Amino acid sequence: MMKSMHRPLTGVRVIGLEQYMSAPYCTLLLADAGAEVIKIERPGSGDPRRSIPPYAVDEQGGQVAGSFIGYNRNKKSLALNLREEAGRQIYRDLVRVSDVVVENLRPGATDKLGLGYEDLKAVKPSLIYAAISGFGRLEGYTGPYADRPAFDIVAEAMGGIMNLVGFPDKPPSWTIYGMADVYSGLVTAYGVMLALFMRERTGQGQFVDSAMLDNMLAFNERMVALYSFTGESPERGRLKHLYPRGAFRCNDGYLALNTPDDILWRRICQAIGREDLKEDPRTADGTARAANADFVRPIIEDWLADKTRDEAVLLLGQHGVPSGPVHTAEDVFNDPHVAARGMLAEVDDPIAGPRKYARTPPHLSSAPEIPKEPAPRLGEHTVPIMRDLLGYDKVEMARLRDQGVIEIWEGEMAG
């Protein structure tokens, strides 16, 4: 199959008024899909994630934060002071020649600057404006928490997820760091794509309202359905109606196993040589197995005790039982299937050197591979954006730099 020369969003220009994780991950997805993403950063400091370790340092003493470059490849950096009217005017000029704005500032922050959706819609009616917040901002859907700030763990907690993670005798636990941010970035990118598709049909832009709490609640849909049907609130720890499910010890780590029905359980019994457990009243169905988990787990782990994770996966697979090793980061980096899928994308940063980052899925058969440009230095693209896109000359840019309206990456004004 012949592949296109372009990624799906080639020709779409996105402004990222963004910081930390949720909006940067959204625009990373769009950038990997081919969009031109212009990241707006505060002169002097930039995105706060530029100062969050771990760091890489080169021989000249240059320093870059791994947590920043992982979220900001394939983007351009425009260092712009939006507290100055001249900076706000540059931003409006940029909106006029762009398709999408993605922002995750505190609710009301852009409105106070005169740069909210209603302000910018007057500048460009076809603009798609995506806002990520903790609790939502769309008129008609604002609740009592609308003005609250939020971090990912707050959304996990209020969406019912933390209550389900951990063990009954321990406090609720978070999942992985930033999960609500990353998932919200994904949902927001999906919303942007829907809005772009609608604009192709109507020519109209719109406001895309992405609330972290909404996203976590939708992600936790099983809890919602269970409570709706049974009135039961699921709790962390053991499930009541199915088992075995979880991580089981092998001789070189842990194996992940799930048994959603009795068909899979019978296959497990065959695989481990315990046909008798098919009819044992303690293990005959999911509810019984869940109630007798302390009886079932040792049986499975005794069978696994002399087997590696890979050996167990192979033997279970021969009986049609899905399973998988619980991987560490080192395991992931050494996994031949991960390598074959190209899921560790190597990006050569001028300071950090060649490093691997998680590739954004999915793969598209008719599109080229994702670009792998390193994350920008602060203000690296201020000059080319203002010169080539907005028509500013060197004298105007030097004046704006001296007034603290813009920051220019060293060397960019030469020539």
List, by residue number, the catalytic residues. Answer: 181
Distance CA 12, CA 10 (A): 6
Cα–Cα dist 249/255, whole Å: 6
Cβ pair 379, 79 in contact under 8 A: yes
CA gap 319, 387 in Å, rounded? 64
Nearest-angstrom CA–CA distance, 390 and 408: 15
* CA distances from residue 135 to 103, 104, 132, 138, 324 in whole angstroms, order as listed: 14, 12, 9, 10, 36
Rounded Cα gap, residues 130 and 216, in angstroms: 18
Query: Residue by residue, what is the 3-state secondary structure of the chain?
Result: CCCCCCCCCCCCEEEEECCCCHHHHHHHHHHHCCCEEEEEECCCCCCHHHHCCCEEECCCCCEEEHHHHCCCCCEEEEEECCCCHHHHHHHHHHHHCCCEEEECCCCCHHHHCCCCHHHHHHHCCCCEEEEEECCCCCCCCCCCCCCCCCCHHHHHHHCCCHHHCCCCCCCCCCCCCCHHHHHHHHHHHHHHHHHHHHHHHHCCCEEEEEEHHHHHHHHCHHHHHHHHHHCCCCCCCCCCCCCCEEEEEECCEEEEEECCCHHHHHHHHHHCCCHHHHCCCCCCCHHHHHHCHHHHHHHHHHHHCCCCHHHHHHHHHCCCCCEEECCCHHHHHHCHHHHHCCCEEEEEECCCEEEEEECCCCCCCCCCCCCCCCCCCCCCCHHHHHHHHCCCCHHHHHHHHHCCCEECCCCCCCC
Query: Closest by alpha carbon to 324, among 255, 388, 263?
Result: 255
